Amino acid sequence: MPADPTPPLPDAQPVPAPHAGRARLTAVLRAAAAAVSDVLTPPVCLACRTPLSTHDTICAACWADVKCIHPPVCDRLGIPLPYDPGAPGGNPPVSAAAPADPPDYERARAAAHFDGVMRDLMHAFKYADCHDGRRLFGRWLSQAARPLLNDVDLIVPVPLHPHRLRARRFNQSALLAQELAWLSGLPYEPLILKRDRNTASQVGLTRDQRRQNLQGAFSVPPEAANRIHGHNVLLVDDVITTGTTTNACARVLKRAGAARVDVAALGLVTDDARINP
């Protein structure tokens, strides 16, 4: 039989990843850019401006003043409970306030009480156009909303009226929703919910006055209704004060076909004091 003319194959050699060199160069450049950034804009506490070793965080003293909301919490309102009441059947605990005045949304969660350092940070974010806390807020909001995210199909922010948006130049709820969408990988839908009336400020209004103020304020455009029909929506706001705004939004979303609406916020007013939202 004639010899096989096919030459023997050489020993297999490892094949380098096609973009390994580029990835290493990118990592080196990013590290260099971060080092330059630290020189030009040294990391400081977002609240008190004390020098720190890393960006996008707060110092230990300011952190101690942030009253994070941890379980047990009311599953409907998100308010902290003094103890776990042990709901029958393994159901999540619900406060007495929830059935007394049930919200139009199913569940709510918030990252922290709206006072002290948290209030200062959010006022700077909302009124002073100070967005350097955006990444930190996104992490806090993601942690608070974690129990809700598995059941969510899309994320919708509470909208501003176009006149107020032009004056402020940004929607703080939309920025928070963007951060949460990026961290969770969920779709971000900022145009599903519209604010049709430029309502008066809610500051200083009673719960009933807030409800009247927001009547007919929100809508879902007909062309957007098919994007939420039958889907679970996570509504994102900056602060839940009385729940009036989130209730009004949830009603409109459900009328447009949303299967359920949950709410996530950065801050939560947990007493009856009139705190400026």
Supply the mean pLDDT for the chain: 86
Question: Could you give the C-alpha distances from 202 to 54, 122, 194, 199, 270, in angstroms and in order?
Answer: 37, 17, 18, 8, 17
Q: Residue 152: which residues within 8 A CB-CB, separation 6 or more? A: 184, 186, 232, 233, 234, 262
Which amino acid would we find at residue 56?
Answer: D
pLDDT at 201 over 80: no
Answer yes or no: do 48 and 172 share one domain. no
Answer yes or no: do 40 and 144 share one domain. no
CA distance 61 to 80: 23
- Cross-strand bridge partners of residue 154: 233
Give me the pLDDT at residue 200, please.
61
Answer yes or no: do 118 and 80 share one domain. yes
- The percent of residues in the chain predicted with pLDDT above 70, rounded, is 79
Q: Residue 139: which residues within 8 A CB-CB, separation 6 or more? A: 183
- DSSP summary character for residue 15: P
Answer yes or no: do 56 and 151 share one domain. no
| Residue with the larger pLDDT of the pair 17 and 156 | 156
pLDDT at 249 over 90: yes
Answer yes or no: do 84 and 171 share one domain. yes
pTM, two decimals, is 0.82
Residue (of 63, 44, 92) closest to 262 by Cα position: 92
Collapsed DSSP state (helix, strand, coil) of residue 223: helix
What is the residue range of 216's domain?
69-268
Q: Over the stretch 20-63, which tens digit does the pLDDT of each residue have?
A: 677 787 777 677 766 666 666 799 999 999 999 989 999 999 99
Q: Over the stretch 132-142, which tens digit does the pLDDT of each residue have?
A: 999 999 999 99
